[in-house]
Amino acid sequence: MLSFFKDYKLFALVFGIISIIIISIIYNTLNTYKPLSIYQPAMVSTELVDSTIQHQKKYHKIADFSFTNQNGKTITQKDYKNKIYVADFFFTTCRTICPIMTNHMVEIQKEIINDDEVMLLSHSVTPEIDTVAQLKRYAKRKGVIDGKWNLVTGDKKQIYKLARKSYLAVKDDGDGHPFDMVHTENFMLIDKKRQIRGFYDGTNPDDIDKLLDDIEILKEEYKK
């Protein structure tokens, strides 16, 4: 009888050690760091990408830009140097998806308000309507925080070019009119090297949660 209990105790000890090892392997497998993809034009729907770069498979990044924000300040890529940021395209008079997108940007702003690594950038696709004064009114109404979130306007050709050739984010109007665009619900996550690391449906709360999670994953990348 004593021998039985000794054997059982040994079995329990071995079983316990094996169980711990198995649990550790499963835990480490599920929590393995997986870097975010780096999106290239060839990976994105052709309707969102300028035909001149649709087959590009590497080296894509956001081009230099210069716009004017809600405070009349010139905003360039230098203002986003060494920053992670979320970008989108909108217009202040939109009554369909824009209010939802902007409200979700407000939620993101709340989450990153004390995070100096992360900023937001929203481009107007109707710059002839969205003047500095109009953007300022909109920013006040939505609670945009200066220094954290820039709403920008500027030359429509530059905005269109940046949207199609850099952010891979808008459709043309389908009528052959140059520089007329139909913005999408996309939010783009941009890394510190000005590369696209994710696309998200700015009207979908689940996608916003994923975007916030991906920001944390991207921040981990810079710690390694």
pLDDT digits (tens, 9 = 90+) for 33-65: 689 999 999 999 998 999 999 999 999 999 999
Residue 98 assigned ligand-binding role? yes
Which range marks the domain in which residue 1 is found? 1-32
Band of residue 221 on the pLDDT scale cut at 50, 70, 90: very high
Q: Are 4 and 106 within one domain?
A: no
Residue 104 assigned ligand-binding role? no
Q: Are 76 and 25 within one domain?
A: no
The domain that contains 128 carries what CATH number? 3.40.30.10
Asked whether the predicted pLDDT for residue 27 surpasses 50, the reply is no
pTM here is: 0.83
Residue 183 assigned ligand-binding role? yes
Residue 8 is predicted with a pLDDT of 56
Q: Are 109 and 191 within one domain?
A: yes
Q: What is the mean pLDDT of residues 72-76?
A: 98
Asked whether the predicted pLDDT for residue 155 surpasses 80, the reply is yes
Q: Which residue has the tokens 């716009």?
A: 67
Q: Are 130 and 111 within one domain?
A: yes
Q: Are 71 and 174 within one domain?
A: yes
Asked whether the predicted pLDDT for residue 175 surpasses 60, the reply is no
Of 203, 195, 180, 152, nearest in space to 36 by CA: 195
List of long-range contacts for 133-140, beta carbons under 8 Å, 24+ apart? 134/92, 135/69, 135/70, 135/92, 136/70, 136/71, 137/92, 138/70, 138/92, 139/70
